Chain A
Amino acid sequence: MKTTFKIPAFLRLKNLQKTALSLWKRLSPPLIAVAAALIVCGVLMLVMNFNPLLAYQALFESAIGNKSAIGTTIIKSLPLLITGLAVTIAYRAEIFNIGVEGQILIGGIFAVWVGTKVTGLPPFIHIPLCMIAGMVGGMAYAWLPAWLKAKRGINEVIVTLLLNYMAALLLSWVVRGPLREPGQLYAKTAEVAQTARLPILVPEMRLHPGIFIALILVVLCYFFLWRTVPGFNIRFVGANQRAAEAAGINVPKTMLTSFLISGSLAGLAGTLHIIGTEYRMLESFLSGFGYDAIAAALVGQLHPFGVLLGGFFFGALRSGSNGMQISLGIPSTLIYVIQALIILFVLASYHIRFGWRWWKREKQMDVFKKEIQPGN
């Protein structure tokens, strides 16, 4: 069979300008939002008597300044990347899964349990077993809000937010109670068995094969959403629920599917961080990463490849803010502010692009109203 290689349309020379323009249209809102958030935060730092330029320099250096810094950034961005995908898949079905924060923890607890209590297995069984346990944990914790959303139409946001608080408390109990490493002053779980750990690929950067899993997941996620029937259904339900219903799509089932996939991805993110990097759980395990994931997904325009960039960006922010705290004494809670501002600006950027035209027409409407109203 003879196959000819065809250049995809968007890469052909005559379309190149168009491609660049559309790429700019896609990329500019998050870029502008990030820049705006960093500027506002700089002003905030000035008010607090810190030099923003020095602060951002410290942030930049400790995020990607040297090899080990890059390693830390990548390691921190892996869970963000995977949870960002989790948020994306749910969001595409118009489900706002804030529960990733809790699902990470429950997945992690399951994985640590399998990693510490089950012993005597060869690595090629033990590692997948841990990953499956983590995914089951995350999925189980997503089940209640998913069921309530799909079958009863109850808003998932409140339920998942409350479940997040409960997951954090459960972890706090687990590290002190059943899984606590005996004889330790500081409450933490025991380390997972050697057989459950991922090998370290690059020692000075502490990279583990989780990075390949994450990259494969990005591609799989794209393929799933745009090239398969369930993925199409998810996007259809998210774009227009009533139209999807009219077209004969089982809306509750689709919502349930996307929510459960989202939960299992979140659980996997926690698991990979345990079996690849930390080998145990502390009470502060990946705290706040669920909210980072939302920011990463929104900055990535809810597209798997965008999430790849967004996840890396927020991973860099995470590891950079530590350096900022150490060298300049700026509290690392500042990144919460940066993160929130970025989300707000990204949200606004969707709307402000249309703002001017909308405002003009709104004004016209006022004139129109004055004319037709009697007594004016």
Chain B
Amino acid sequence: MADLLSQFAFIFTSLDFYAAVFRLTTPILLVAMGSIFCERAGIMNIATEGFMLMGAMTAVVVTYYLGSPWLGALGAMLAAMVLSLLFAVFVVIIGTDHIVTAVALNVFSLGTTSLIFRQIFGAMSRTPDITGLPIWRLPLLGDLPVLGNILFNQSPLVYLAFLSVPIANFFMFRTKWGLNIRAVGETPRAADTVGLNVYRIRIYTILVSGLVAGLAGAFLSIGQTTIFQEGMTAGRGYIAYTAIVFGKWNPLGALVGAVIFGFADALQLRIQALGMGIPYQFALMIPYLFTVLAIVFAVGRVSWSAAYGQPYRRVERSVD
């Protein structure tokens, strides 16, 4: 027992651990900041899992053929956006159930990504040789004694993720667009009456969520590592959704949620690395366990408006 405690103390006192927390928070935070707008516009979007996976696969493929990880990230964003357009067509225009559609799209994404990847790289015994996104050591800030290595010696996407929080917060609560989005989510009927195009706003916010989730997927495959594995997102889209719910649909709250799950992920990696006599499967469970516990203990409000997760129709469909 004392041994275990000292090992945990070792984990929590190492600076690398905190750098890992920031790194592992990034994909979750990015997805959360991208999809918080469509959540606020009334779309329950758990399809980000599939968008991320599509982004992760596309990033590796594009980087392999064009040689630039930046183009890879761009390709990832576009591919995920195409998938999110499909989601938007089903959910907004046809008016299907958000959850079932999202689950189907996630399965679709799992199938297509592994199909395409096997088709392209199937003959190779090992993963393609590509260069990932660089690490930017920020001038001045990167030379700070302790914080420099933790905070300012990371991939540019890490900075982008944390910068996106105040941006999203400003956009959501201080601009007309943010107000429109919130109105559409709160009471679509009223928003429609004052002349907002509910369908259009919902579609745009879904496209944004796809774009950003694609970037987060690219971070997983060419930011942290340079490989793609089938189903490598491992539920991060769902975890990001939980971060939003945990944060009561506010960007700052979602940041807290994302950091908690990033912390759990980093802890899991360290426990695996140290061995510690805990089977690795239990270590891997830690992020999911944290997420479930966060749902059990922290969620007060279940959804933020009555129209949340419901398809919107201007004209009620006649029953026939």
Q: Which A residues have a C-beta under 8 Å from some C-beta of B?
A: 44, 48, 96, 98, 144, 148, 152-155, 157-159, 161-163, 165-166, 169-170, 172-173, 176-177, 291, 294, 298, 331, 333-337, 339-341, 343-344, 347-348, 350-352, 354-355, 357-358, 361-362, 365, 373
Contact = CB atoms under 8 A, between A and B. Distances in A.
B118 interface: yes
A158 B234 contact: no
Contact of B292 (A153, A159, A350): A159
A337 B296 contact: no
B317 to A, nearest CB: 5
A281 to B, nearest CB: 14
| CB-based closest 10 A-B pairs | A336-B111, A340-B108, A337-B111, A343-B104, A173-B281, A347-B96, A340-B107, A169-B281, A153-B302, A333-B114
Contacts of B104: 340, 343-344, 347
Given A337-B108, A351-B96, A98 B302 contact: no
Interface of B: 46, 90, 94-97, 99-101, 103-105, 107-108, 110-112, 114-115, 118-119, 122, 195, 230, 234-235, 238-239, 241-242, 245, 279, 281-282, 284-285, 288-289, 291-292, 295-296, 299, 302-303, 313-315, 317-318, 320
B108 A96 contact: no
B302 A155 contact: yes
A238 B257 CA distance: 32
Given A173-B282, A333-B114, A334-B111, A162 B238 contact: yes
Nearest to B95: A351
Contact of B299 (A152, A163, A177): A152
Nearest to A341: B108
A178 to B, nearest CB: 10
Contact of A354 (B99, B285, B302, B317): B317
A102 B76 CA distance: 31
Contacts of B105: 340, 344
A259 B223 CA distance: 41
A170 B279 CA distance: 10
Contacts of A339: 107, 111
Given A166-B292, A169-B285, A333-B115, 9 more contacts: A48-B119, A96-B99, A96-B100, A155-B302, A161-B46, A162-B239, A340-B111, A348-B96, A362-B315
